[in-house]
Amino acid sequence: MNARTRISAVLALPEWYVYHNKLQPAYLKEFSTIGNRIINRTQNKRDLVAHGLWSRVEGKWCVLKMRGYRPTPELRPELEKLSRTFLPQREIVTVEKLNANVREIVSEARAVEDFCKRIYSVLPLVPFQYAPPKYTRRRSA
């Protein structure tokens, strides 16, 4: 599940609580804002750090960009832009840029954690209705 799908799935829960007057609409708006920041800014940086194809070229660290398009003025008018999956593009990543990306990722993760703590303090606790099955090493035949 990517970030966009996960956030839209998680957003349904506060929507339900707002609809049933168990939660103030401000919480829904706040989570929507956090989710939009993650989708629009942080997701690509997180994917770059966690899943990027890293290499060292001429003593400098770079990551290979495989998504999106890049402008190709040298190929106009035939090709206005070219897919990076067709022609990947290197991006040099300095220590400062990497640290800034990691700080932003951690900041968004903390924002989600803080939001969850506030939601749990506002919502009434509902006991879990179903007991999970007991763990056993025996396997069913």
Residues 81-126: tens digit of each pLDDT: 888 777 778 889 999 999 999 999 999 999 999 998 888 888 876 6
Is 129 within a domain? no
Instruction: Indicate whether 9 belongs to any domain.
Output: yes
Let me know if residue 80 belongs to a domain: yes
* Domain annotation covers residue 136: no
Report how far apart, in Å, the C-alpha atoms of 141 and of each of 47, 51, 133 are.
Answer: 42, 40, 17
Kindly state whether residue 68 falls inside one of the protein's structural domains.
yes
Share of the chain above pLDDT 90, in %: 40
Mean pLDDT computed over 75-85: 81
- Residue 42 has what pLDDT? 93
**Which H or E run contains 95?**
helix 95-122
- Please identify which residue in the block is written with the tokens 């194809």: 53
**Burial of 121 (C-beta count, 10 Å sphere; 0-12/13-18/19+):** exposed
SS (H, E, C) 4-26: HHHHHHHHHHHHHHHHCCCCCHH
pLDDT at residue 130, as a whole number: 62
Q: Is residue 134 part of a domain?
A: no
Q: How many domains does the chain have?
A: 1
Does the residue 141 lie in any domain?
no
Asked whether the whole model's pTM tops 0.75, one would answer: no
Res. 135 pLDDT band, cuts 50 70 90: low
pLDDT tens-digit series, residues 19-46: 999 899 999 999 999 999 999 999 989 9
Residue 127 lies in a domain: no
Contact status, residue 11 vs residue 25, Cβ threshold 8 Å: no
Residue 19: which domain range? 3-122
For 115, the enclosing helix (H) or strand (E) is helix 95-122
